[in-house]
Amino acid sequence: MATIIHAVLGYFVLIIVVRVLKRRAGSQMTLFEFVLVFLMGGIIILSTVGNDRSVTNCTCAVIAVGLMHRSVSWAKSKSPRIGAVLDGTPLAVIKQGEWQPEIMNGMKLRREDIEAAGRSAGVTKPEDIDYAVLERNGRISVFPKD
Amino acid sequence: MSAQPFTTPVEDSVPKTNDELAIGENLDFQRKWWRFERIIWIFFAVILLCDLLGLFGRGWLAKAERSTPDNGLILKYERIERASTPSIMTLDFGPAAIQGGRIQVFVSNSIVMPLGAQRIAPQPQQSSVGNGGITYTFAATQSPAAVQIALEPSFPGLHSFRVQVVGRQPIDANIFVVP
């Protein structure tokens, strides 16, 4: 019983903290962010299973987390608002070849991040980028000028 | 197998930006979210500050001390504890508590069950149950003398307890256990 409550609470605590950590915890992951994800996951595990490390307890915790994840995915598919709250919305950091400083500052992005994404898309110069979009999963999509 | 053909047309499901690219950008929502982020980071900072001060146990605000008017018993404990986390309750005895070379102290059952007494040091010469608690008898020479009870609460919530040197005024107190 306590394990299931702890697993559900831990799931939501992790979702909230990761969600407010800007959009880089899952994608565009550097070593710096790997430390964050492993450390937070490890800490939540401690309170979820407590001193009971039996197969039964751990299985219940895994099932509870799986059920929560499925329920949240279902809610996201039914409500775009919930989807926006949990995943955010895509944001254009370059629009028609113009930097969008409000988005860059708000999302704590650096120009180097966008330029790196441009190189991945085969664009060698930033001024050749028409649109750069920070996607919900943290990736940056780059659309070169025609 | 259903014979109904697939009829939903494939088209943009999100609004276009500058009438060019269907991104689905929602800057109003994003600005509200940034405001929410600022608030929640302040909230997180307040939580950490409360933790440092001991509002969630194991800190300055959590420590408590109570004594009887004759100073026969001075009780040091944590008024806020954490579930499944060990702590020590210390009973310091003054000269008034030592009678006939021994100290008899009563602790209520709540010390044992919800507050999870794990062990008592030193071991009592004798222990007897009754009156909703346990009475321990320790051999004692002279003050200062102390007994320590290791607690590990199992259940979150507010738990009342009583500690009393037999024949003297009791100390009634509460411990709040956070999950």
**B133-173 residue pLDDT tens:** 999 999 998 888 999 999 999 888 999 999 999 999 999 99
Contact indicator for A51, B84 with CB cutoff of 8 Å: yes
Same-domain pairing of A22 and A78: yes
For residue range A13-70, list pLDDT tens digits in order: 988 988 888 665 445 566 777 788 888 888 888 888 887 889 998 999 999 999 999 9
B80-82: strand order across its sheet: B80-82, B171-178, B157-165, B102-108, B133-139, B126-130
Same-domain pairing of A21 and A51: yes
Structural domain span for residue A79: 2-87
For residue range B96-140, list pLDDT tens digits in order: 999 889 999 999 999 988 888 999 999 999 999 988 999 999 999
Closest CA to B34 of A91, A26, A95, A138: A91
The alpha carbon of residue B124 is apart from the nearest alpha carbon of chain A, in Å, by 29
Same-domain pairing of A114 and A63: no
- CATH number of the CATH domain containing A136: 3.30.240.20
Largest CA distance in chain A: 61
Q: Do B29 and A84 touch (CB under 8 A)?
A: yes
Query: Residues A79-91: what's their mean pLDDT?
Result: 89
Same-domain pairing of A112 and A124: yes
Same-domain pairing of A69 and A116: no
How confident is the prediction for chain A on average, in pLDDT? 86
Query: Residues B60-78: what's their mean pLDDT?
Result: 93
Q: Which residues of A touch B21 (CB under 8 A)?
A: 92, 131, 133, 143
The alpha carbon of residue B33 is apart from the nearest alpha carbon of chain A, in Å, by 8
- Per-residue confidence (pLDDT) for residue B162, from 0 to 100: 94
Contact indicator for B124, B155 with CB cutoff of 8 Å: no
What's the structural domain count of chain A? 2
- Per-residue confidence (pLDDT) for residue A26, from 0 to 100: 44
For residue range B7-40, list pLDDT tens digits in order: 777 676 676 777 777 787 888 999 999 999 999 9
Domains and CATH numbers, chain B: 16-53 (no CATH), 64-178 (2.60.40.10)
How confident is the prediction for chain B on average, in pLDDT? 89
The residue in chain B having the minimum alpha-carbon distance to the alpha carbon of residue A13 is B44
Q: Which residues of B touch A90 (CB under 8 A)?
A: 23-25
Same-domain pairing of A79 and A108: no
- Per-residue confidence (pLDDT) for residue B66, from 0 to 100: 94
- B3 pLDDT above the threshold of 70: no
Last residue of a domain, one of A87, A105, A123: A87
Q: Do B84 and A51 touch (CB under 8 A)?
A: yes
Same-domain pairing of A106 and A81: no
The residue among B67 and B25 whose pLDDT is bigger is: B67
Same-domain pairing of A45 and A18: yes
pTM, two decimal places:
0.77
Placement of tokens 């004798």 in the chain: B126
Same-domain pairing of A123 and A74: no
Same-domain pairing of A122 and A63: no
Same-domain pairing of A54 and A121: no
Same-domain pairing of A138 and A123: yes
SS3 A74: helix
